[in-house]
Structure 1
Amino acid sequence: MNEETPQLDSAVPRGHRPANASALIHNGSGEYLLHLRDQIPGIWEPGSWSLLGGGREPGDRSLEETVRRELREEAGLDIPDLAPFAVEEALGSDGTPLPIHIFVGHWAGAPATLDLTEGVMLHWFRPEVMPRLRMAPATLELVRRHAEMVPAGQRGAAPPLDGAGTVADARRPPHPRGPSAPAPGGNAVLNVIGVHLYLENAHGEVLLGLRHPDSAYAGATWHFLAGHCERESAVACLIREAREEAGLVIDAKDVEFVHAVHLVDTPGMQPRMQMVFRARRWTGVPEILEPDKCVSWSWWRPEALPEPIVPYTRAAIEGIQAGRLYTEWGWS
């Protein structure tokens, strides 16, 4: 975060607070990059270990641009493979929750070689050490969640560094790595599981939501009602997301699997299995219950879908209309 972090000042009217973005940076060997903030009264989390990041500025076209700019300004870091990971909340001085969009990225250099312009220092830490640090519980939980997704074989000691502070060639994984290549050491690559709700009304129209312009993923773009599985089944996740995002009540017995898109957004990124389920019956009318994620629900004819629309959403709808159960996207 910027030392001033104006977006965490609760004196700013809520509707005008800019969004925040932070970077969860890991080295692929079980360590995470943390930033020790200055011990200055009045700044957010003084003297604590946190993630690099800050608030969106007028010139930033997206939150990804925000986090990339902050990384360059704070530490001279340029990380090509940043990807959306989560949306967390910080508290303003009045206890009001403020969203922070988290992007995850890989870097394996030496923090001492970076040109740090804010804060005291940068350092690699393993998750099991972090409870001994002064840091926000939400940041610690965020690291733990990501660490659970990393294959066990990639959590060993950090690889040796060469004289330039980067991973020695003998241990450096190919970059960029082809999306279908095995992980270093022959370990399987974990796939993120997403669930998506396919609803058709009596007129054969499909329900889609227009995502908030500041969404970490697909801002100002039409998409299914969707979410990521936590410690729950895919159907349970679907039912929960439908209730939380749109106020729709769905019974598990009325849910059927209709399509899957095995997706790689960009080469080398973590694969995702996007599962689409149809609800044959439901109760309720779609409402905007999470305005930071979705600003509108609308029904669309499958042959006249809106633009812009998430490409794999269109592919899934076309597959369902054609009676296909599976689509691959981005693997070639």
Structure 2
Amino acid sequence: MNDETSQLGSALPSELRRANASALIYNGAGEYLLHLRDEIPGIWEPGSWSLLGGGREPGDRSLEDTIRRELREEAGLDVPDLVPFTVEEAKGSDGTSVPIQIFAGHWAGDPTALNLTEGVMLHWFRPEVLPRLRMAPTTRELVRRHAELLHAGHYGSAAPATVTGAVTTARRTPHPRDPSAPSSDGKAVLNVIGVHLYLENAHGEVLLGLRHPDSAYAGETWHFLAGHCEQESAVACLVREAREEAGLLIDPGDVEYVHAVHLVDAPGAQPRMQMVFRARRWTGTPEILEPDKCVSWSWWRPEALPEPLVPYTRAAIDGIRAGRLYTEMGWA
């Protein structure tokens, strides 16, 4: 649900406020696609995980047209089969109730390959992970209900909300710090996706590796076990890197998202989204399997981290300890 929803209460006559649609997208693994919103004061649910969607515009013949347009505009996403699932009530900025038509649809793609134009990222989550995420309780409950029906082999649907008239809403232009905003030459700026392992032992110590002095990045500096996404999901990348770099075996089902640092190392440098995942369980003892990258693995107390330490690694650990999901660095 995007900015248009929060604007309806104050910007439109009462008879035109019932024109919002969101998409509940799921895959064959029982995961749901959620959208991490910008941490910008004044927008709908800032810094929270939510569904993709928005307000009806004059060219939309129906709320299905609305949600299909929103998916294309926000993420370049086309979900062939979208069906009405239910109608939810949300609160507008003036406290009035705003009905939102929820559509459900199956999609099995890689969200990191999508061209996201609003918010921070898209990611798949299993329903049991949602209580650990910052999100509206109504969205969490919506996913839970759908997952239960899906598990039972069926789910019901509510009739679409009746909408009369058309809604005119102002589209949000890309935030100046949004990595999807065009560059000076008009081309979209692509972001590098890094994946990092946050591992705690039974003593609450965090696993860090000392980078090789000749490493292309952060030589002689402590850092997470990490790697870049290839043609794979972020969790698949994490599992692969843990095995290749340290001989650790991790079940994807034991992985949970805990933080992201969106950073620019220097003015004009390519932006990087550094995603951090926690493994609740693993098998093996950290080994030096790629000595050209890492020369030592050690466990450290979070309040007594080693020096030198990659700055965004420290920022991520601080964020995780504080319960935050997102940090920005280098954009100001």
TM-score, reference length from structure 2: 0.46
- Provide TM-score, normalisation by structure 1: 0.46
